[in-house]
Amino acid sequence: MTLDPDSFRSVLGRFASGITVVTTVDVEGRDVGMTVSAFCSVSLDPSLIQVCIDRAASMFDALQRATHFVVNVLASDQESLSRRFAAVESTHRFDGIGYSRAENGAVMLDDALAHMECTVVARHAAGDHMIVVGEVERASASSGRPLLYYRGGYAQLER
């Protein structure tokens, strides 16, 4: 029996996840970024993480060619940034927002809970997505609460 995509999405929606914005610079030197909830740690030694990118995503081509990227973990008050970077329109995502540059050149969003500056070490085809494994070269964290995604909507951590 094959599981239909809508049922599978519904089941996966029961897993709460943090929200990240992944950024890089494309081959023409333009900043690109998108909201990604499919993020997780892979290894402590070496320090590896992974992000999963839909092949239809606006950032797919840039990340397929990138050597470096940044994972920005969003704070609970950054829902508007998550929505901005999730929108279909991708040409003005960085206009009017605060950010700095990582050593690798990618954008680090102001006030994010954490930043991870990564070097791409592997890419794997996985159905309609690509898994990008990055070695974390530098990382920083601040205090605060994370922005969460649960059952198709944003959620807050109550603690």
- Does 1 map to a domain? no
CATH code: domain of residue 107: 2.30.110.10
- Does 57 map to a domain? yes
Distance CA 91, CA 30 (A): 10
- Does 110 map to a domain? yes
> Tens-digit pLDDT profile for the chain (159 aa)?
688 888 887 887 777 789 999 999 999 999 999 999 999 999 999 999 999 999 999 899 999 999 999 999 999 999 999 999 998 776 789 999 999 999 999 999 999 999 999 999 999 999 999 999 999 999 999 999 999 988 888 887 776
- Does 154 map to a domain? no
Quick check: 84 and 32 in contact, CB under 8 A?
A: no
- Does 6 map to a domain? no
Query: Which amino acid is residue 129, in one-letter code?
Result: H
- Does 5 map to a domain? no
Number of domains in the chain: 1
Q: Which residues contact 59 (CB under 8 A, 6 or more apart)?
A: 22, 24, 32, 33, 34, 53, 90
- Does 82 map to a domain? yes
Domain containing residue 86: 18-149
- Does 10 map to a domain? no
